[in-house]
Amino acid sequence: GPKVLQIPSHQIIDMGQMVTLNCDPVSNHLYFYWYKQILGQQMEFLVNFYNGKVMEKSKLFKDQFSVERPDGSYFTLKIQPTALEDSAVYFCASSSGTHAETLYFGSGTRLTVL
């Protein structure tokens, strides 16, 4: 099936540093998402992105967070500066269209902030 690739699979950084999580979405998909999951529990919506713009973001998407997809390359989530509570697994997803389209997820990036 369609594959979403996330790089790296694990990242350990010190609090206050910047981190960039990378996502290579399914090639013909147009909508991109980031979700946050703590301790294998609920998938929390962070943000979605279409046509170079953020469509909607949640309260979890703090001012320190940003997303972009320059020139059709990786869809990235940047956190600057990081905080201890940012430790989680971050999942990228993509879909081909609006509303009734299934999301395809990557395997996640486990972020540990020390």
Partner 1 sequence: QQKVQQSPESLSVPEGGMASLNCTSSDRNFQYFWWYRQHSGEGPKALMSIFSDGDKKEGRFTAHLNKASLHVSLHIRDSQPSDSALYFCAASDTSNTNKVVFGTGTRLQVLP
How many residues does the structure list for the chain? 114
Q: Compare residues 76 and 81 and give the one whose CB is closer to partner 1.
A: 76
Region 9-68 residues binding partner 1, contact defined as CB under 8 A: 31, 33, 35, 40-45, 48, 50, 55-56
Q: Compare residues 27 and 41 and give the one whose CB is closer to partner 1.
A: 41
Q: Compare residues 40 and 84 and give the one whose CB is closer to partner 1.
A: 40
Q: Which of 19, 106, 111, 113 is the binder for partner 1 (CB under 8 A)?
A: 106
By C-alpha distance, which of 27, 68, 34, 35 is closest to 51?
68
Contact 6, 76 (CB under 8 A): no
Contact 39, 63 (CB under 8 A): no
107 makes contact with partner 1 (CB under 8 A) = yes
